[in-house]
Structure 1
């Protein structure tokens, strides 16, 4: 039997945020066994903790959707780092620095406990890269059950594909009402994701004051909808910097609220670090709540 731990991530409140499964002693498991466990647990992501390749690092981790392994993800990084820090069960405040080895590269994480609240912030292992655009607003709208007028924001007018480990089709939506009405719809959805070359779409609304509302759909990846998607926010940082949202130098902070329509409100913080007019780093932060500890069979 394997130890199994769960957290709700990107929230301070139990039963909100994005649920995460952690297998803390995964050495000896094969890739096939990890995939079976991720499919059995059927959460948006399951993270497996192994001995690091570099002794100075805290752990090597592998992250799985129910149907596939992915190179990097936000809420597993936050939740796993908070768990490994030991701060959840420690009396008083504290701070821990660590590096997690992910398939996309080493990920530095800072974990803090202040007044009983445990949070973490990681630096994305790769900078976001634009892969393409989807100028067909009609197809995009039909794929989501929306009208063409529902697509666009003050930030960007048409969907774009960005990658930072995982890739996402980032779709601007004009209002919260349109965001709430959006649903992947049949053959047009299949055509849209095929044209984009990605199975995951992240919709966003600009609420002003550096705050955004979002939803993420990835039914082909085994996640019909995701309550919080930190890696998508990393790619979104690239889109924002590309369209001149940030100042040329220094940090721009944004907040993203996701999962509201699912009843799993999540709060994701991001820092976009600009140097000489270019995006130099993306840092993603949030809290997590320990939910359960148990055991699961080895496949």
Structure 2
């Protein structure tokens, strides 16, 4: 099903109309030390690196295990990194349609990718999302660091977790979202104190489920993420109970790299996450 010797590749995950996306390094796993795993993303001009290990077949499908690193260390999971890895695998498959099993942090799940003329459409079945109301003091510690005015804050602040908790923060409009200029040091201290991965600030969805978001995560070495798919899955899980079975979230515009992530609940009730991938260049 797969051909050729894989090589380290930088791909753009979750591109929008073929543009932008989050540069992500994808490479075969090997005897890398911790320091090297943390150094490689920056050397490749990426915020994240995905290390891929092939394994025995799972349910008749090729199995690949994934590990994710930023300059700050290993992440238990990474949604856009998973999408990037799928684009990389699809680019060297011998068919236009690819189905695999992926293993991340002890969980195995189905994933798929389809090669198009200019990009790869990738998606996978997501796991469970834990949602809760913020505990007393959590929002009060974080929101001032984000710089959100009280009248710009929307209803429904939530703490969401897919291994590590993050704060979902609604604002009233895309313009309010674009104007945010968080105090990163203050935000990092607040997130560290509360054990939060970061803050995913999002606009209210349109009737069709289109929204915009910005993810601030200085605690993991990413002041602002171009595309944060895990948090988009968290938002999809939250909005599924409010009449939005599927959403498309625009990110990256404030960083000059437009990205879009798709998420939603399938007809069978499975939360799915996906995006488009462009394989750009080998590394180094």
Fold match by TM threshold 0.5: yes
Q: Which one of the candidate residues 118, 121, 136 is aligned to 2:120?
A: 118
Greater CA drift, 161-170 or 210-219? 161-170
Structure 1 stretch displaced more, 105-114 or 49-58? 49-58
The yes-or-no answer on 1:290 pairing with 2:279 is yes
Task: Name the residue aligned to 1:260.
Answer: 253
Corresponding residue number in structure 1 for 2:69: 64
Residues 67-216 of structure 1: matches in 2 within 5 Å? 67-86=72-91, 94-124=96-126, 126-133=127-134, 139-152=141-154, 157-185=155-183, 188-190=186-188, 192-194=190-192, 196-209=194-207, 210-216=209-215
Q: Deviations over 1:144-185 (max 9, x none)?
A: 123111111xxxx14211012343211111122211121222
Change (3 A) 1:34 1:256: same
Shift of 1:112: 1.0
The total of aligned residue pairs comes to 275
Instruction: Name the counterpart of 2:3.
Output: none
Instruction: Give 1:223's aligned residue.
Output: 222
1:31 and 1:107, CA in 2 relative to 1: closer, same or farther beyond 3 A?
farther
Contact 1:87 1:113 in 2 (8 A): no
1:294, distance to aligned residue in structure 2 (A): 2.8
Q: 1:114 to 1:33 in 2, by over 3 A?
A: closer
Asked if the contact 1:70/1:166 (under 8 Å) is kept, the reply is no
Gaps of 5+ in 1: none
Q: Which runs of 5+ in 2 are unaligned?
A: 1-5
Give the direction of change, closer, same or farther, for the CA distance of 1:70–1:54 in structure 2 (3 Å limit). farther
Deviates more, 1:136-145 or 1:198-207: 136-145
Normalising by structure 2, report the TM-score: 0.85
Q: Please provide the CA RMSD for this pair.
A: 2.7
Cα 1:26/1:159, change in 2 over 3 Å = same
**Relative to structure 1, is the Cα distance of residues 281 and 166 closer, same or farther in structure 2, using a 3 angstrom cutoff?**
farther
